[in-house]
Structure formats: C-alpha cells, structure tokens
Amino acid sequence: MKKILSLFTIMLVFVVFTNCEENEITPKVLEIDYVGFESGFILGVDPTGTAEQEIKIATSNKTTSDRTFNLVVDSDLTTADASAYSVPNSVTVPANSNIGVFNIAVIGEYIDPSGDDILAIGFSSNDNNVFVSGSISLNLKQVCPNPELILDITFDPWPEEIFWRLLDSSGNTLFASANLAYGAYAGLSGGITKPMCLANGSYTFEIYDQYGDGAGPFSLTYDGSVVFSSDGGYGPGTSHTFTLP
C-alpha cells in the first residue's frame, strides 16, 4: 500500500516571548498549511493499451469547504513523451477531509520500451499561505500481458549486413532492426536480444543478409519454446510463419 508522506502532518512550533510582565514567557503554536503527494511508484501499462492510475494528495489541515490545488507536469524532471500521458489541471480536497484524489491516463504505445520514462507532477499554486511538497515521480513502463516473443541474434563479423522484421497476418511491419534498411547493427559485436510483446495470432518473421551468404545464428522463442531458429547459414534470407496461442 502506498503511504502518504509524513510531512503532511508537520507542525511548526513558534515561541513568542512577550514582556507583559517581567520573566513571563507565552508560547504560541502556529500550524503550517501544507499539501503534498504520496510517494512515487512504478506504473506499468500494456504496450497496446491504456492504463488509468489514481494518485492521492493530503493536506495537513481540514477545512469546512472544498479546496482545489492546481497541477502541472514538471518539465524539468519529466522524460516521457507528452503523448504518453494525460494529467488533469487540478485536484480537489473535499470539505472536512484532508485527502484528495485525481486520475492520470497512460498510453502504452508512446512509452519508451527501455523503461526509463519518468512522469513528474507538481503543484502550481499562487497561495503564499500554503506550503507545497516537491513533485511526485512516476516511472512509466511497458508491461506485456502475455509471454513475450524473444529474438536472439549472435553477430558474425559483419553485423551491418543483417536486416530483420516481424509482420502481422495483414503484412504490417510490427518490429524491425531498422527503418526497412540495413545497417542497424553497424559497429556492434556479440549480439542482441529483442523482446516483443504480441497478442495471440499469426505472424511472419523475416531475416536477410545483405551480402547473401547468411549471418550469425538466431532464435525466436516464446514461453520457453523455440519457434524458429537457424545456425546462420540462411543465404540471402529466410522467413517463417507461426501462430501464437
């Protein structure tokens, strides 16, 4: 469970010394009006879907009327593409409560598969009497709901000659080594591992060697089983159509 930061309950004690009578000290307590976010977390979403997430804020004080706080995307901390999320302009804390809730939407298609995308949300307030917390940071990740298809390629001495792509049953290119061109792996050595999130259905994998003599070994595996593989001796190219259950 997420926890509201303890800073929401911070109280500042301000002691004022008066001279009404000699040696008399009168303490006074001043409450800070504070609003802050819950702690940040990881938000996973299907690469082909959309996810909604509830986020909470809390105030140190309760009031007898609704309180609305403006929200803003923190551009200094956010790395995610603007098309990958939707954030409301404000959040309301109801009367006689110190908890407010708002929802954000995240679109998996526009999230970087590397998992490094950050969405940071902060308060935008002109009320100088309210202290606000720092931004909340959400790590946006693509999370596949099915087992992923895994492509492993071991490079030969000329990896720049490799080109591959994965097509759906309508012939649309879903994944590829480059933008329909050779050279994606120029200067690299060793190999690559490429996970691909796919729905159930039929697909065709194609791999080509620009020089025409085949390249390094490769394999396609799904849920622990080999779907297609080669020792690299596939000449100018090879392909295989398969169905994911």
Do 85 and 200 lie in one domain? The reply is no
Write down the pLDDT at residue 127.
Answer: 66
Write down the pLDDT at residue 51.
Answer: 94
Q: Which of 126, 109, 104 is nearest to 41 (CA)?
A: 104
Per-residue pLDDT tens over the stretch 168-198: 999 999 999 987 789 999 999 999 999 998 9
Do 168 and 232 lie in one domain? The reply is yes
Does residue 189 sit within a domain?
Answer: yes
Contact indicator for 122, 135 with CB cutoff of 8 Å:
yes
Do 158 and 185 lie in one domain? The reply is yes
Encoded tokens for 121: 């949300």
CA distances from 39 to 5, 83, 205 (A): 7, 24, 43
Write down the pLDDT at residue 114.
Answer: 79
Instruction: Give residue 187's domain range.
Output: 149-244
Do 136 and 184 lie in one domain? The reply is no
Do 133 and 43 lie in one domain? The reply is yes
Query: Which residues in the chain show pLDDT less than 50?
Result: 1-22, 25-26, 28-30
Which of 99, 114, 142 is where one domain is finished? 142
Residue 166 β-bridge partners: 175, 205
Write down the pLDDT at residue 31.
Answer: 67
Does residue 1 sit within a domain?
Answer: no
Do 169 and 132 lie in one domain? The reply is no
Which DSSP category does 182 fall into? S
Do 137 and 153 lie in one domain? The reply is no
Do 173 and 212 lie in one domain? The reply is yes
Which of 92, 110, 142 is where one domain is finished? 142
Do 133 and 158 lie in one domain? The reply is no
Write down the pLDDT at residue 115.
Answer: 84
Phi–psi pair at 67, nearest 5 degrees: -125, 130
* CATH at 172: 2.60.60
Do 167 and 132 lie in one domain? The reply is no
Do 171 and 122 lie in one domain? The reply is no
Write down the pLDDT at residue 179.
Answer: 74
Does residue 45 sit within a domain?
Answer: yes
* Tally of domains within the chain: 2
Do 50 and 120 lie in one domain? The reply is yes
* CATH at 74: 2.60.40.1740
Which of 111, 127, 142 is where one domain is finished? 142
